[in-house]
Amino acid sequence: MARVVLGVCGGIAAYKAVEVCRRLVDAGVHVAPVLTDDAQRFVGAVTFSALASEPAHTSLFDGPEPIPHTRLGQQADLVVVAPATAKLLGKYAAGISDDLLTATLLATRAPVLVCPAMHTEMWEHPAVQENLATLRRRGVHVLEPATGRLAGGDVGAGRLADPADVADTVLALLGARGGPLAGVRVLVTAGGTREPLDPVRFIGNRSSGKMGYAVAAAALRRGARVTLVTTQGRPAPAGVDVVRVETAQEVHDAVLARLDATDVLVMAAAVADFRPKAAAGQKIKKGEGVPEVVLEPTPDVLAAVAGRRRRDQVVVGFAAETERLLEHARDKLERKRLDLIVANDVSAPDSGFEVDTNRAVLLDAHGGTEALPLMSKDDLAGVICDRIAALHSSAGAGPSYDSAAPAQEDPDE
Ligand code: CTP
């Protein structure tokens, strides 16, 4: 049975931690609650003791054990702090351990998830954001707060994530979640690549990465173990392993290095087809005249994957087109030996880069075509993941491509 320490801080959202506790216990997790002094001003320890798997812990010194933080920290498979106040984040980032919860956080080697909740002004304060950035850099998972009603009738960002989402994220981090993609290893690429011209300039594209991030979140919600290879700086959903990349070559290398340990690959990144043959070592100066930039092809990631994939793997590509959508998409599906391609017309105002909606057509390797209505990128990601789950459960049995035959184009090989 997985063991989780549930840290609760003193914020109005502390009452929601009771629901998190109940949901985790219902899911079969052993929950050890640790309450700060301030938390007990909002919710009583008795409530947690009644619902959790062991009595609530409230003090470094007053309990029956001489050193409770080391036992709690060492035995935990995961520590979750919900709600995490600005004070807790500050102390944790600074390595201060002046109570049972902060001492447990420093005494554990288990993954840690913090779920911040505070007023918008506090949430947006640079001190809080810098502390979070420090924690993220150290590998702490962060479940971002939602926007909604806050204490005192205010509305804004800083509301504790929904208790169901907190519990789901804990279960995903424990690898203990059910769902149609439970335990499936999904690798998603996102964002547009940047090909350097010189140390300050690059050739890029308009991809925002929204679709790839949405697919990563949807796969996570369905129980998958998700890795996101992204060119974007913004944080990924808590529980997703993030690999930051910049160039087409880096996307290629990151994907191929992980291909064997991947069940499903979703190539949502807008990978450059060409890059400057030689990036200038120093900034190109205007006075030196109009530069001539010679381009060369980048490696085609999906073509390289096509030559190495296993029959039981599911490979999904995207086709962003401005004309003859279905014809181009079907051609890519076959050339790159995909199981599924998501085609969309990026010249339509509601279906391209940077917007939150998409109008896509799904084409599969059996000749199937499914035209989807206009929907949010989040909803489309859900549909894609449902199709992926069906393909994955029948993978190996389907008309998968024979990886022995080389793909039609693979400048990398
Ligand atoms: N792709 C890739 N490696 C590249 C370029 C694209 O793996 N070097 C992937 C994309 O992530 C996408 C799919 O291939 O899933 C189709 O990308 P797209 O740019 O539409 O196709 P191209 O093969 O580049 O064809 P064209 O530029 O002629 O449309």
Tell me the DSSP string of 127-149: HHHHHHHHHHHTT-EE-PPEEEE
pLDDT tens across 208-257, in order? 999 999 999 999 989 898 999 999 988 888 888 899 999 999 999 999 99
Distance CA 257, CA 111 (A): 24
Mean pLDDT to the nearest integer, 378-399: 86
Best substitution site from 259, 273, 274 to test ligand 1's pocket, by max atoms within 8 Å of Cβ? 273
Q: Which among 125, 144, 175 is the end of a domain?
A: 175
CA of 330 to the centre of ligand 1 (A): 13
411 pLDDT band, cuts 50/70/90, is very low
**Predicted pLDDT at 405:** 47
Highest mean pLDDT among 66-75, 120-129, 355-364, 402-411: 120-129
Distance CA 227, CA 249 (A): 18
Q: Which residues pair with 318 in a beta bridge?
A: 342
Share of the chain above pLDDT 70, in %: 94
Say which amino acid occupies 42.
Answer: F
CA of 332 to the centre of ligand 1 (A): 8
Q: Are residues 206 and 317 in the same domain?
A: yes
Query: Within 6 Å (CB) of ligand 1, which residues are found?
Result: 248, 267, 269, 271, 273, 298, 300-302, 317-320, 332
What pTM does this model have?
0.76
pLDDT tens across 10-52, in order? 999 999 999 999 999 999 999 999 999 999 999 999 999 999 9
Tell me the DSSP string of 88-119: HHHHHHHT---SHHHHHHHH--S-EEEEE---
Q: Are residues 7 and 118 in the same domain?
A: yes
Distance CA 355, CA 407 (A): 33
410 pLDDT band, cuts 50/70/90, is very low
Q: Residue 176 pLDDT > 80, yes or no?
A: no
pLDDT tens across 323-358, in order? 899 999 999 999 999 999 999 988 777 776 777 888
Q: Are residues 269 and 309 in the same domain?
A: yes
Atom of ligand 1 nearest to the CA of 270: 11
Q: Are residues 269 and 383 in the same domain?
A: yes
Q: Are residues 152 and 205 in the same domain?
A: no
Q: Residue 189 pLDDT > 90, yes or no?
A: yes
The answer to whether residue 411 sits within a structural domain is no
Catalytic residue at 205? Answer: yes
149 pLDDT band, cuts 50/70/90, is confident
Q: Residue 406 pLDDT > 60, yes or no?
A: no
Find, among 282, 273, 272, 279, the residue nearest to 294 by Cα: 279
Which residue's alpha carbon is nearest to atom 21 within ligand 1? Answer: 319
Q: Which helix (H) or strand (E) holds 301?
A: helix 301-306
Q: Are residues 318 and 376 in the same domain?
A: yes
Q: Are residues 202 and 157 in the same domain?
A: no
Mean pLDDT to the nearest integer, 123-151: 92
Q: Are residues 162 and 198 in the same domain?
A: no
Q: Which among 142, 175, 208 is the end of a domain?
A: 175
CA of 405 to the centre of ligand 1 (A): 20
Positive or negative, the CA dihedral 287, 290, 294, 298 is: positive
Q: How many CB atoms lie within 10 A of CB 327?
A: 11
pLDDT tens across 80-89, in order? 999 999 999 9
The contacts of residue 128 (CB under 8 Å, 6+ apart) are 86, 89, 90, 116, 118, 122
Q: Are residues 251 and 289 in the same domain?
A: yes
CATH for 157: 3.40.50.1950
| Structural domain harbouring 268 | 185-393
Atom of ligand 1 nearest to the CA of 317: 15
Beta strand 314-321 with 295-297 is: unpaired
SS3 for 358?
strand
CA of 271 to the centre of ligand 1 (A): 6
401 pLDDT band, cuts 50/70/90, is low
Q: Which among 175, 198, 226 is the end of a domain?
A: 175
Q: Which of 11-25, 118-132, 165-179, 249-263 has the lowest mean pLDDT?
A: 165-179
The answer to whether residue 402 sits within a structural domain is no
Which residue's alpha carbon is nearest to atom 8 within ligand 1? Answer: 300
Q: Are residues 370 and 232 in the same domain?
A: yes
**Predicted pLDDT at 387:** 97
Which residue's alpha carbon is nearest to atom 5 within ligand 1? Answer: 271
Best substitution site from 318, 345, 363 to test ligand 1's pocket, by max atoms within 8 Å of Cβ? 318
CA of 300 to the centre of ligand 1 (A): 7
Q: Residue 413 pLDDT > 90, yes or no?
A: no
| Structural domains in the chain (count) | 2
Atom of ligand 1 nearest to the CA of 319: 20
Distance CA 195, CA 281 (A): 14
Atom of ligand 1 nearest to the CA of 301: 7
CA of 389 to the centre of ligand 1 (A): 23
Best substitution site from 271, 295, 384, 408 to test ligand 1's pocket, by max atoms within 8 Å of Cβ? 271
Distance CA 371, CA 163 (A): 35
pLDDT tens across 290-320, in order? 999 999 999 999 999 999 999 899 999 999 8
Mean pLDDT to the nearest integer, 201-213: 95
399 pLDDT band, cuts 50/70/90, is very low
Q: Are residues 160 and 239 in the same domain?
A: no
